[in-house]
Amino acid sequence: MDSVTTQYLHFPIRVEIEIKDVRFGQLDPKKRLHYLSSERLAILAIRARRGLTNEQTAKRFQISVQTIICKPDRYGK
């Protein structure tokens, strides 16, 4: 492996996530792929486990707050 490749292997995971988030954030929200029901349920579990607010959760997963609070019963279906 060259030194450039080795350098990238040592980036913290938060840098990887930030790169992904910036790119994902450039997409029109209406054209983004939707989370699967199981993924939406996992998002709610993460929110509860970490004690996140709806706003914090929405920002982390690049969804609207309305998506989180609207019809949460549908996530298990």
pLDDT of 67 over the 90 cut: no
Mean pLDDT of the 24-31 span: 82
Q: State if pTM tops 0.85.
A: no
Contact criterion met (CB below 8 Å) for 67 and 53: no
Task: Check: CB of residue 44 under 8 Å from CB of residue 72.
Answer: yes
More confident residue, 75 or 1: 1
pLDDT at position 7 is 64
Q: How many domains are there within the chain?
A: 1
Half-sphere exposure of 61 (CA within 13 A, CB side): 25
pLDDT bucket at 44, cuts 50 / 70 / 90:
very high
Residue range of the domain that includes 30: 3-76
